Chains A and B, each alone.
Chain A
């Protein structure tokens, strides 16, 4: 039996933002749109962070569920039907009012609207559409909107919603179909991928249309994203990153988000993680994800069946560089852009700057530092005009040892010195053996 009481807006916002906090994406990036001058709002391609919550995550969008009154029973979710939690639902007016009032005060960059499944997927999707329609046409909101598509919602609703939103996403939830069957009995892989494919096709079609008619309405201009939970099921990093890679390739996703599993429910099917959520693992996956999207790496370069998980102590790029020392050192004044990108400590921005700056003059280490190269990591892997910054050995153990030391000191502790070979216990060597093994 359900006892319902009317709630104030404050209570609703508390319940429904609390319920939405496990959704990861809070980016407002991907689209540039100037205001029309009649409404309120615009969009900036790099996105803007407006605040940071106590867990250090950015608050950019008003992230809320429309309702947490869900009929599904996903094992990992706080809002599953078998949980006894406070339930609440917004009305479309309330969401619009909150969004506009927050936006006017520059609290937020836009709205992130998700929802539990209220009655049926179609009913929920209809409500989300209605909210967006009201916000765009009645309140003339021109800021960023990210909306979750409800798997199983009818296709025409998805299409209509896509013309109002900037970004849509469908949660993949778990990396493999098998895990999904186990932990989310009401969802299937196929029902999740179907709307994703639909959005992809509609976007391609819309792009063609836009080349013909520049003022045609835009369909999901900031692209689609997805997220999966890390550490609730036994997949290894290689599987996860391969899934992400194929999503980028085959579904043209803009982002894949990873969320470290936070145990909110007691369930025999869920793992117990005494050390808290696997945050470091999540961090490594994000780093690898950037390597896939911006650094031209492939998943099978970073990991393999034999070496299926990321090194906890080193970021994936350093890890890759250490196992491919034959490609180093790289000469920064001559190497092409792609080669530069593979050097630890050099990112897309600094690589571009190097390429432009070296046309105008001779580079030196000071200039490199000023272009944004992290020399702390890069020194081991580069030469500038044929010279290293310090005489350093291109030796795996040596570099590893120095990278792992907290790089507070400017100059690596040990430049190329010679030491007496010893058959036994070299102290410094002993502690790195454990790490690489």
Chain B
């Protein structure tokens, strides 16, 4: 058994898919695994995979062409999950989709073959990741810094930043903004009227991010006031609130009483 160990990113996983396939060892004799601190197996050979943009791009293009945009989207989302088995499941799905025995039309439907454990796993991961990303579309809170930048912090389970980029760049095309994900030590940066990009392994400037603009305080106050006055006392239900708005999202949110 050869285990391909790859970086925990879409590029890393796709490169490993390429290498595992190209190794011609037979799909049954290889396994993919994201790099993590875990005990190694005794009777396995390990093979380090360096992320390679070119190889990853080829894999992505092939998945798109052969299995369709919908499948690619799901696989990409699954690659963003926090999960130990994701790389191998993705490999199995790609093997299934690219197998020469099935027709073009069937390849696009492979992602719906939920009776297959690997497909089912990818499907579930994709769903979970997208769910979290969708929640962050609402729960990200920007604060305006003195230099006019909108700054926000999150602590996400999955690597949601790549999924949030398009959304926020489309929404605020003329703002300079930054979303910092402490869970993944990554930052999403957008310059006004430009594209967005991801900075990996960076922490934003410590002092700068606490210097607010002149009317930031007022806006935060207005918002907190609004959040409490919009609630109907006769209907109050803290359990229901927490069900929709779990505590783990609240840490960086303006209306959370512990935030300030």
- Knowing A10-B225, A102-B223, A107-B141 touch, does A55 contact B232 (C-beta < 8 A)? yes
Contact of A104 among B144, B167, B230, B234 (CB under 8 A): B144
Contact of B230 among A42, A59, A262 (CB under 8 A): A59
Per-residue interface assignment for chain A, residues 47 to 68, with 1 indicating a CB less than 8 Å from any chain B CB and 0 otherwise: 0111111111111101100000
| Whole-angstrom distance between the Cβ of B179 and the nearest chain A Cβ | 10
Interface size class of B (residues with CB under 8 A): 35 or more
Q: Identify the stretch in A15-23, A204-212, A418-426 within 8 Å (CB) of chain B at 4 or more residues.
A: A15-23
Per-residue interface assignment for chain B, residues 109 to 141, with 1 indicating a CB less than 8 Å from any chain A CB and 0 otherwise: 110111110001001100000000010011111
Contact: B221 with A10, CB < 8 Å? yes
In this complex, the member of A56, A98, A277, A364 whose beta carbon has the largest number of chain B beta carbons within 10 angstroms is A56
| Whole-angstrom distance between the Cβ of B48 and the nearest chain A Cβ | 33
Q: Identify the stretch in A33-41, A151-159, A232-240, A375-383 within 8 Å (CB) of chain B at 4 or more residues.
A: A33-41
Contact: A52 with B114, CB < 8 Å? no
Please report the C-alpha to C-alpha distance between residue A143 and residue B172 in the assembled complex, in whole angstroms: 11
Contact: B230 with A63, CB < 8 Å? yes
| Whole-angstrom distance between the Cβ of B85 and the nearest chain A Cβ | 15
In this complex, the member of B172, B175, B238, B243 whose beta carbon has the largest number of chain A beta carbons within 10 angstroms is B172
Please report the C-alpha to C-alpha distance between residue A360 and residue B103 in the assembled complex, in whole angstroms: 13
| Whole-angstrom distance between the Cβ of A177 and the nearest chain B Cβ | 27
Interfacial residues, chain B to chain A (CB-CB below 8 A): 109-110, 112-116, 120, 123-124, 134, 137-144, 150, 152, 167-168, 170-175, 193, 215, 218-219, 221-223, 225-241, 243-245, 253-255
Nearest neighbor of B127 in chain A, beta-carbon distance: A372
Q: List 12 A-B contacts (CB under 8 A).
A: A10-B221, A17-B225, A35-B171, A35-B173, A37-B193, A48-B137, A51-B245, A104-B172, A106-B140, A109-B138, A359-B109, A359-B112
| Whole-angstrom distance between the Cβ of A33 and the nearest chain B Cβ | 10
Contact of B236 among A35, A55, A109 (CB under 8 A): A55
Nearest neighbor of B174 in chain A, beta-carbon distance: A40
- What's the dominant secondary structure at chain A's contact region? loop
Residues of A close to B236: CB separation below 8 A: 54-55
Residues of B close to A356: CB separation below 8 A: 109, 112
Contact of B142 among A21, A37, A52, A104 (CB under 8 A): A104
